Amino acid sequence: MRWLGIDYGDSRIGLAISDELAVFAHPMRTLKHGQTALKEIRFICESQPMSGVVIGLPKNMNGTLGSSSMKVKKFGRDLAAEIPAVKIIYWDERLTTVQAQRVLHSTGKNARQSKAIIDQVAAQILLQSYLDSLQWSNETAVPS
């Protein structure tokens, strides 16, 4: 089953999706912030089976929640109301945009060239982090 990753922003929403084995995350698309975004995400989740949605939760560097976190939590509640059958997970997204900028810069893209995909790459990084945590917990589980 696949997972959907969401990097929520005030103007854009980056999406990433996992492969069917939930091992690798891939950039998917960028949505404009607005009324249709929830419906588009619902369509994605209904068009293919999803284990859940991982939404990046912005935290301060000391681990506390800032004002942006409240916007993300509201978006998560709205998304849960739109697609109640899908599990919503909040995942620490600290520095994912910085990492995305570095990755894109290393591929030769400047800031202007990166603007269209940076949110997707940030969503990919946070989703991959979540998927890695699942793999790690499965590999280190002690049999009963």
Q: Is residue 55 part of a domain?
A: yes
Among 16-20, 77-81, 91-95, 124-128, name the one with the lowest average pLDDT: 91-95
Indicate whether 144 belongs to any domain.
no
Whether 105 is in a domain gets the answer: yes
| CATH classification at residue 110 | 3.30.420.140
Residue 118 inside a domain? The answer is: yes
> Does any domain span residue 10?
yes
Q: What's the pLDDT band for 139 if we cut at 50, 70, 90?
A: low
> Which structural domain, as residue segments, surrounds residue 106?
2-139
Task: Check pLDDT > 60 for residue 104.
Answer: no
- Asked if residue 91 is part of any domain, the answer here is yes
**Residue 7 near residue 123, CB atoms below 8 Å:** yes
Count helices and strands in the chain by DSSP H and E runs = 5, 5
Please answer whether residues 42 and 84 qualify as being in contact, where contact means their C-beta atoms are separated by less than 8 angstroms: no
Residue 120 placed within a domain:
yes
Residue 43 is predicted with a pLDDT of 95
Instruction: Count the domains in the chain.
Output: 1
DSSP of 11-49? SEEEEEEE-TTS--EEEEEEEESSHHHHHHHHHHHHHS-
